[in-house]
Structures are given as C-alpha cells and as structure tokens.
Amino acid sequence: MEENVEREGISLTDIWKIVKKYWVGLVAIIAGTTLIGLLAAFFVVPKSYEAHENLYVMYRDKNSNPDDYMGSGDVTTSIRYVDTIATYLKSSKEHYIATEEALKAQNIEIPYKKLIKGFSFTTGTTSLAISVKYTSRDKTVIPAVLNTFVTTAKAKVKEQFFNNELDVLKNDAEIDASDVNDVSTSKIVVVAASAVVGAVLGLAYEFIANSLDRTVKNKKYIEETFNIKVIGMIPDISKSVGNGSDASDVNEL
C-alpha cells in the first residue's frame, strides 16, 4: 500500500486556519494602529508650507546695453556663474544674518540658523536659473522671508563677486500668499500606512500565538513532539450527525 507523504512547510490553508483562529487579535491590532494613525494625522503630524522664487544669473560687461542681459558671448560666462552663486547662497552665513536683520525690521523674528534649515536650492544651467525654495510651518511668513532673502541675495552677490559693477541676478515678480503651497503629509497616507503596519503586526501576533499554542494541531505535530508514528486518525463525525442524533447516540453505535 502506498504511504501518504505529508507536505513540508505551511500551506495557504494552514495560514487561513491560523487567521480564523486568532482573528479577534488581528482586527484589534489593525483597528488600534489605524486609530493611532488617525489621531496622529490630525494632531501630531505638523503642517508644512513652501514657496519658491527663481533667480536668473545674467552676466554682462560694463559696455553692454543696460537692457541686454544676454549679449553675445555672455551665456557661457553666465552658465559658469550659476553653480558658484548657488554654492555661495547655500553656505554664506553672512547672507543669512543679513536676511535675519532685514526681517527684524519687518517685525519677523527668525534666527539665521533656522533660516538656513528652511532654504533649499536647485540649479538649471539651461535656463541660467537658481530655484530658491523656503519651507516653513508658518505660511504667513513665507512671502516676506523669501522676498527678503532674494533682495538680500541680489545685493550680496553683486557686492561679493562683481564689486557693484554688474547686475547679475534678476528674479520673477515678488511672491505673495497665493504662491504658498501646502506640502504637508497627506492624512490619507498616514492613516493608510498605519493600517498596513497594523496588518503586519497583527499577522506577526497570530503566528507567534500559534507557535506558542501547545495543543495538538495535526498528525505531523504529534509525530515530531512525541517521536511516535501515527498509523491512523479517527475523524470527528459528531458534526455530521443528523438532527435526530447527538454525540452520545454515535458512541452507542
């Protein structure tokens, strides 16, 4: 007679049985983490706003037409200055201190170290532009901070690199409140991430609980635990007994 070979490992059926057995814990954990995520989304995760301004590097010599910032041969020189000026704006402590002082005159108190953390820069050599972005939790101060920073930058760069002889930076129109964007983390993303974490923790709990369960689960468990050979299993037929019989009737048979 051919001997039945039990499959190794765990099957989808086994997993489903485990999930059904400990489903209360799974649901409780998912509900708990989702609730925590919901509360965090509304009361813990900070709001964040940002706006950006473009600074265009326009090099010209003293003999150029005052209105011609892109005279013949000037483009190559301008491209060379883009990264140099961007690096200066990122790292110049003197510039940030000047911005801080200018803001104080507008009754806005922001330490220069905090200003440094709020600014970021990207460069585009094709457009000869430095994109200056400022991010803050207080959206009301962003227009003033960014406009002041740009005004200070134009003066400092002109003084630092060109000894007041050349106009090298131009910017778009000053930004206002309509240019400020909300870039806060989406509440839906926070809640969804919490639910996913809850599902993972819930499944981990189920498998840990199942591994700690020392009750007899199947033939393989008996053979491995007691080191004996199982030669047969008596099925539970009490559940299949008709309405006119019960377990005691079956035993009498």
Tell me the per-residue pLDDT of 123-172, one tens digit each, with 9 for 90 and over.
Answer: 876 667 889 999 999 999 999 999 999 999 888 887 777 654 556 678 88
pLDDT at 51 over 70: yes
Closest CA to 85 of 174, 172, 155: 155
- In the chain, CATH 3.30.1890 covers 49-182
**What pTM did the predictor assign?**
0.64
Structure-token pair, residue 236: 């539970």
Average pLDDT of span 177-195: 92
Model confidence at 242, in pLDDT bands (50, 70, 90)? low
Model confidence at 63, in pLDDT bands (50, 70, 90)? low
Average pLDDT of span 100-126: 90
CA-CA-CA-CA dihedral for 21, 23, 24, 30, to nearest 10: 150
What's the rounded Cα separation, in Å, for the pair 70 and 66?
Answer: 10
CA distances from 115 to 77, 130, 136 (A): 30, 18, 9
Helical residues (DSSP H) of the chain, grouped into ranges: 12-21, 23-43, 74-91, 93-104, 112-118, 142-162, 187-212, 219-226, 247-252
Phi-psi region of 227 (alpha: psi -120 to 50; beta: other; left: phi over 0): left
CB 93 within 8 A of CB 156: no
Task: For domain 49-182, give the fold.
Answer: Bacterial polysaccharide co-polymerase-like (3.30.1890)
pLDDT at 12 over 90: no
pLDDT at 201 over 50: yes
Q: How far is CA 34 from the centre of its chain?
A: 17
Model confidence at 251, in pLDDT bands (50, 70, 90)? very low
Helix (H, G, I), strand (E, B) or coil at 80: helix
Average pLDDT of span 84-101: 90
Closest CA to 60 of 156, 183, 202, 165: 165
